Structure 1
Amino acid sequence: MTARVLVVEDAEPIRTAVGIALTEAGHTVLTRPDGEGLERDLAEYRPDLVLLDVMLPGRDGFELLTVTRETSNAGVILLTARDAVGDRLHGLRTGADDYVVKPFVLAELIARVEAVLRRMGRLRTVLEVGDLEVDVEARSVRRGGTPIELTATEFKLLTFLAGRDGKVVGKTQLLTAVWGYDDYADNLVEVYVSGLRRKLEAHGPRLLHTVRGSGYVLRACEGP
C-alpha cells in the first residue's frame, strides 16, 4: 500500500521517528526541516500526502498549507502542539484533511495518514501477489479464488507483507508495524509467520519466504 509522503517538521527527533514509522508502514518518504523548498518538492516529488508542522521557521504550516492547496492535489495533515479549537478550525477551513496534536502516538498517526490516503483513492485496496488476493477494505483473502480464513493479527501481518512489493522485511519492522512495539521476543513473529505460511500453502506453492539473517518476504518466486 505504497504512497509518497512528504514530512515537513523542524524538530529532528519527531521528523526522524515519523519518517521511520511511515517507511516501515510501506510508504516512500521525503523529510524536510522547513518549507523553503516546498514548491520544488511538490513539483518534483509529487507527494500523495504532506505532513506539515504548523510552527515552522520561516513560512509556517498554515501558509504552506495554502501553497500546497494552490499547486498540488496532495492530501494534507497538520501536526502541531497548538491544540486550541480556533487553530484546528483555521487549519481545517484552510483545506487540511486532518489535524494531529502533539504529542501523538505514531501508530495513530500512521492510521490517520492511511485513512486520508484511502479517502483520496491513493492507496491500493486490493493487493495481489501471484495468485494471492488481499482485499484490505473487505478484510478478505483469496488464493486461486479460494477464500482463506485468517485471524485479525494474521491479516494485519499479511497485509503489511503484501504491501511491501516484494521487499524483505525484518522482524523488528514486523513487530513495530503489526504489534506496535519492537522489544518483544523474536519468536512471536516466527510463530505467526509459521501459522500464516501453513494457511497460504494449503492452497498453493510457497509465497511467504524466510531470508536467512534478514527477515521475510512475500512473493511468488524463491530467492533473496
Structure 2
Amino acid sequence: MRRILILPVLLLAAHPAIAANDKTPPGSPCTKGNGNPCGGNNGNAGAQGNSGHGRPDPSAVDPKPANDFAIAVPMVRDRSAFISQVGEANSAAIAQTGAANYARIRQNGTDNRASTHQSVAVGYVDLAQSGTDNVAAITQGGVGDAVHIAQQQGAGNRLTVTARATGGDVGAIIAQSGSDNALALDQDGDDNHARLVQSGDGNRMNLVQQASNNSIEWTQVGDNLAGSLVQSGNQAIRVTQTR
C-alpha cells in the first residue's frame, strides 16, 4: 500500500538559509600533506583524478512560511577542484569559471560518470557516487551563492541538478540509493533550498523551485514511486511518500 504524507515544513533554523563560516572546506589544497597547491592557484591543469503518478496535493502548501532550514557551507575562496576515483571505466569532469568555486567528486565502482560546471559567483559542490552505471551532473550559475551536496549509490541511477542563483542563495542536500532511480532538481531564483531523499528501485522525483523563499523536505522510500512538484515562491512544504 502506498502512503503519501504532505505537511508544512517545521522551523529548523532562522533565515538566512545558507550560512558561511571560516572553516577550510574538506579536501582543501591548504591541508598539509595532500600534495596540492595553495593560495591563488586555480588547480591542476589538464585531466584530473586517478586511473507522473503520485502527484502531491498542492492544498497542503503553506503559502507564507515564517522560516526555512539552513544549509551550512564553508567559506569558498578562489577556485579549487578535486577528483578521486577507484574502480574501472569511471569518468569525472569539473569546469569552473566563477570567482570563488569549490568542487569535489568522489567515485567508487564501475562505469560511473560525474560532472560539475560552475559559473556562479560563489559555488560549492560535493558529489559522491558509488556502484555501477550511475550518472550525476550538477550545474551552478548566476550572480549569487550556490551549495549542493549529493550522494548517489547503487546501479543505473540518474541525478541532475541545474541551479541559477539570481542574487541570494540556492542550495540542496541530496541522497539517492537503489537501482534505476531518477532525480531532477531545477532551482531558479534566490533563497531556494531542498533536502531530497530517494531510496528503492524505479523511483522518479522532479522538483522545480522558482522565484524566491522556497524550501522543501521530500522523502520517497519504496519502489516505482513518482512525484513532480513546482514551487513558485514563498512556499515551505514537507513530502513523504512510501510504498
Q: Shorter-chain TM-score category? A: under 0.3
Q: What is the TM-score of this pair, normalised by structure 1?
A: 0.25
Q: Name whichever structure is richer in strand by fraction.
A: 2
Q: Which has the higher helix share?
A: 1
TM-score, normalised with respect to structure 2: 0.23
Greater Cα radius of gyration, structure 1 or 2: 1
